[in-house]
Chain A
Amino acid sequence: MGNSVGGIDRFRKILGDRKTQGAALAVLIIFVILLPLVANNYIEEVATNTLFYIVLALGLNIVVGYAGLVDLGYAAFFAVGAYTTGILMHYGWNFWLTIPMAVLFSVIAGVIIGGPTLRLRSDYLAIVTLGFGEITRITARNLKITGGASGLVGIQRPSIFGHILNQITDFYYLFFILVILAVLVAMRLHNSRLGRAWQYIREDEDAAEAMGIDPVKTKLYAYMIGAAFGGIAGAFFAVKMTAISPETFAFTQSAMILLAVILGGMGKIPGAILGAVFLVLFPEIFRGIGQTRMLFFGIMLVIIMVFRPQGLWPERKG
């Protein structure tokens, strides 16, 4: 274990050079683009799922990694986005037009949960967000408009320029584009006035406030942007699955995404990506050993956290 983790460090050292970094990135992107040409349906399905979790992890990384806030109910934002799209399409909306609404409603959800709670200390925030996640799921279970416990079914597939997106390959590329956009947005936010404000607050809230930064407002922005990521991911999830049910957004979903962020190394984009990849691929690769694979998965996570508490690809301090 220690060896393979050391391997990541060595790999990062080789990547330290900008040119090598660019080349490695280019190879990676070409690989991702060409993958559907050689892969079977199963591999494509898993890869699409991976890309999807990368978007969610990048979104939660803004809340947890950049702003340093605990969020145990991230699936709620993802649910709000998915249900918004599902319901609106049921009323005949075009999929692409539901996306802004999905963003709007998940951001509103972010404000509702964040507004009153961001004054709390992080351990209380954990409890409140956990509760919020459950409230969202249970509400979806009991409302008529969300289809109750059985959820929404028969959500239409979207089309683009007359071409209906119904193949797994279509969604694979769609989610790949989403990942690229998410990375771009996350990177730009990180290197901005707002991104720095998050970092200041994470490092020392009092000092940040003495510098004229409004902590509550700044944290709320992190919540809103994280929620928007979740909402967009949810909207695409709804049309890919064509059916959504409350149990899709259970606590384990929130925990998985949070795990991806922590496992990868909080605050770093490659970390969040790596965490999400590991989290989706590990249980798939070891599908052969049956139910016990989740046990091994758990043990593996504990070992990683023991030997590498800062995550697989943490922020570089140099």
Chain B
Amino acid sequence: MSILEVQKLTLRFGGLTAVSNLSFELEENTIMSLIGPNGAGKTSAFNCLTGFYKGSEGEILFKGQSIFRQKPHKITKLGMARTFQNLRLFKDMTVLENVMSGMHSRTKAGVFGAILRLPSQVHEEQRIRQVSKECLDFVGILDKESRLARNLAYGDQRRVEWARALATQPQLLLLDEPAAGLNQDEKEQLVGLIRRIRKDLGITVLLIEHDMGLVMKVSEKIVVIDYGQKIAEGTAEEVKNNPRVIEAYLGKEDEE
């Protein structure tokens, strides 16, 4: 069953068409990548899925439910989490507090619960902390929970982002260039982590990535877009040998 269905998605900014007639499906419990050369419209498509851009036309179904032009926080609540290409941590808060933000949509204590310190609120706070710590442990930085996010090394800041997204307890995780700025060693660990997210947590993963080595290694299915349109779709092998992909993507990468 597909967890995500994108049907003829189009996004226009004035006269410019960033995403054009894009359709693809994402099967539950798979790892899929969306790739394409610079400016192909990957991030625009990604932002339509997560609600940060409002698509112009088309339809997006998540678990059979329309999320087209829906607000980001509602999409997160439905079970789709995202990370950001450029780190967007709450820099002046601790690592644990950062991850606790993910639990917001899964909890409900309000004004009176907080002021009166109701037992239900105290219990909920404990649960928020516990789940957040589990997420930190999962990405391997539990020992840094009380550090300020801004004081962590770049690779660890990336991990905080992943832990924070996991804390929203998603069924689908969207990673926007998770390998950007990581060294070879950290990329290896990322591959392992993405596989564990799918295998241990049962979360479907969709990633946008520039690093072809990582994409080929980890993805079971790849969708290639260029000029906002889908030009190929298939397994790593199929995509690698597709002449349109070689022309659009790999040819250009040599020039870089």
Q: Which of A188, A193, A199, A200 contacts B107 (CB 8 A)?
A: A193
| B92 pairs with A211, CB closer than 8 A | no
A213 and B103 alpha carbons, distance in the complex (Å): 10
| A203 pairs with B93, CB closer than 8 A | yes
What residues on A are CB-neighbors of B249 within 8 Å?
none
Known contacts A212-B168, A317-B148: A204-B113 contact under CB 8 Å: no
A209 and B88 alpha carbons, distance in the complex (Å): 11
A15 and B84 alpha carbons, distance in the complex (Å): 40
| A210 pairs with B114, CB closer than 8 A | no
A211 and B160 alpha carbons, distance in the complex (Å): 13
Name the distance in Å between A316's Cβ and chain B's nearest Cβ.
10
| B109 pairs with A207, CB closer than 8 A | no
| B114 pairs with A212, CB closer than 8 A | no
Q: Is B196 an interface position by the 8 A CB rule?
A: no
- Number of A interface residues, CB 8 Å? 28
Q: Is A318 an interface position by the 8 A CB rule?
A: yes
Q: Is B115 an interface position by the 8 A CB rule?
A: yes
Q: Which of A188, A194, A213, A318 contacts B101 (CB 8 A)?
A: A213
Name the distance in Å between A55's Cβ and chain B's nearest Cβ.
15
Name the distance in Å between A183's Cβ and chain B's nearest Cβ.
12
**Mask for B58-101, Cβ within 8 A of A = 1, else 0?**
00000000000001110011000110100011111100010011
Interchain Cβ contacts within 8 Å, total number: 98
Q: Is B111 an interface position by the 8 A CB rule?
A: yes
| B89 pairs with A194, CB closer than 8 A | no
Q: Which of A196, A207, A318 contacts B148 (CB 8 A)?
A: A318
| A213 pairs with B104, CB closer than 8 A | yes
Closest B residue to A213 by beta carbon equals B104
- Number of B interface residues, CB 8 Å? 38
List CB contacts (< 8 Å) of A201-217 with chain B.
Answer: 203-204, 206-215
Q: Which of B93, B117, B121 contacts A199 (CB 8 A)?
A: B93
| A211 pairs with B168, CB closer than 8 A | yes
A211 and B169 alpha carbons, distance in the complex (Å): 10
Name the distance in Å between B25's Cβ and chain A's nearest Cβ.
24
What residues on A are CB-neighbors of B124 within 8 Å?
193
Closest A residue to B101 by beta carbon equals A211
Closest A residue to B83 by beta carbon equals A210
A214 and B148 alpha carbons, distance in the complex (Å): 24
Name the distance in Å between B2's Cβ and chain A's nearest Cβ.
23
Q: Which of B73, B88, B107, B168 has most chain A Cβ within 10 Å?
A: B73
Residues of B within 8 A of A (CB): 50, 52, 71-73, 76-77, 81-82, 84, 88-93, 97, 100-102, 104-107, 109-111, 113-115, 117, 121, 124-125, 128, 148, 164, 168
Provide a sorted-by-A list of 13 A–B residue pairs whose CB atoms are within 8 angstroms: A188-B114, A188-B115, A189-B114, A193-B121, A193-B125, A193-B128, A194-B110, A199-B97, A207-B101, A210-B52, A211-B101, A212-B73, A221-B111
The 7 A-B residue pairs with the shortest CB-CB distance in the complex, in nearest-first order: A212-B105, A192-B114, A212-B76, A207-B88, A203-B90, A211-B101, A209-B72
